[in-house]
Amino acid sequence: MAEVTDSMAHAPISSEKFDLSVEQVSLHFETPNGVLKAVDEVSFGVETGRFVGLVGPSGCGKSSLLLMMAGLQKATFGDIIVEGEPLTGPRPQDVGVIFQESSLLPWKTASENVEFPLALRGVDKAERKQLATDMLKLVGLSGFEDRHPFELSGGMKQRVSIARGFCQDPRILLMDEPFAALDEQTRMTLGDELLRIWEGHRKTVVFVTHSLTEAVYLCDDVIVMSAQPGRILERIEIDLPRPRTYETMATADFGRLRDRIWRLIRGSE
Ligand SMILES: Nc1ncnc2c1ncn2[C@@H]1O[C@H](COP(=O)(O)OP(=O)(O)O)[C@@H](O)[C@H]1O
Ligand SMILES: [Mg+2]
């Protein structure tokens, strides 16, 4: 199994072969107790079309890192490079984000929420309505198109957010624990749908999760971060064949990879 060693994980990287690269990024917060180092000199690159996972103990800076990659949070030091240029703010056409908590517009229906990024892009009404209907079907919400967020459960709202993220169709899709609030079965179904969409469109994906099973099941590589201050411990290539199925999870290789990540995380706390 190919893997990047600890020293390589911290080495400066060339941004040319990457769709997105994180270069020596640190994020510090001023707090009453002094400076809090949320993210500490993190560097990694994501090749075009690669599905990369980010795991680590709670509070290790995964969400902060994702916000910086989306241009929604400025790094204290270092750069995020997208298509060869440092990111200076959000670029929703290139980089889309799906957050852990659904962030729907309460006054719009499920369909209108999903259509929203398409409307911003100037897609005409009939086409965006159709796309939204298709996406809502994909996430198992056919028949709920005209409901408002207050009429939907937490899991349903999250599925609407996911449909909206897919509809936005950015080249690079960042996902912050998108399935965390969902039941096991919905989680599995959406994971498979995500892989299907990714295999069809070859998006570049960065996927944060606290589920190691989910990380190993979905990803090409899993980047393991240490507890605060968040640093990269190791980048592990998940060389399991695709397409992956439920049976993949029962294989010895699957178990070994998950155990290895688990030991790394446990050792860092
Ligand atoms: N706006 C903020 N002000 C101060 N501290 C913050 C802020 N946002 C995050 N943090 C701190 O930064 C660290 C990393 O947070 P976060 O990125 O949310 O971690 P994770 O997503 O891995 O759980 C935590 O200690 C958190 O308390
Ligand atoms: Mg988080």
- What Cα–Cα distance (Å) separates residue 3 from each residue in 18, 220, 264? 18, 12, 14
Domain boundaries 53-74+89-268, corresponding CATH code: 3.40.50.300
CA–CA distance, 134 with 162 (Å, rounded to integer): 13
Give the ligand whose atoms come closest to the C-alpha of residue 177.
Answer: 2
CA 181 to centroid of ligand 2, rounded, Å:
13
Can you tell me which atom of ligand 1 is nearest the CA of 56? Answer: 22
The three-class DSSP label of residue 36 is strand
**Structure confidence at residue 15 (pLDDT):** 52
- What Cα–Cα distance (Å) separates residue 105 from each residue in 66, 111, 208? 22, 11, 24
Task: Output the pTM of the full model.
Answer: 0.88
- What Cα–Cα distance (Å) separates residue 23 from each residue in 65, 86, 103, 143, 184? 12, 10, 29, 45, 35
Indicate which residue's Cα is closest to atom 5 of ligand 1: 29
**Tokens representing residue 222 in the block:** 């899993």
CA 264 to centroid of ligand 2, rounded, Å:
19
**Structure confidence at residue 247 (pLDDT):** 95
Domain boundaries, the chain: 53-74+89-268
What is the helix (H) or strand (E) element at residue 142, kind and residue range?
none
Nearest to 234 by CA among 242, 243, 225: 225
Q: Which residues line ligand 1 (CB under 6 A)?
A: 29, 31, 36, 38, 56, 58-64, 228
**Structure confidence at residue 5 (pLDDT):** 46
The three-class DSSP label of residue 174 is strand
CA–CA distance, 55 with 212 (Å, rounded to integer): 8
**Structure confidence at residue 243 (pLDDT):** 93
Indicate which residue's Cα is closest to atom 1 of ligand 1: 29
**Structure confidence at residue 52 (pLDDT):** 98
CA 38 to centroid of ligand 1, rounded, Å:
6
Indicate which residue's Cα is closest to atom 26 of ligand 1: 59
CA 90 to centroid of ligand 1, rounded, Å:
20
Mark 87-111 as b/e (b = at least 16 C-beta within 10 Å): beeebeebbbbbbbebebeeeebbb
- Answer yes or no: are the C-beta atoms of 215 and 55 closer than 8 Å: yes
pLDDT mean values, one per 10 residues, the chain (269 residues)? 45 65 97 95 96 96 96 96 93 88 88 92 93 90 96 89 87 92 84 86 91 96 94 97 94 98 89
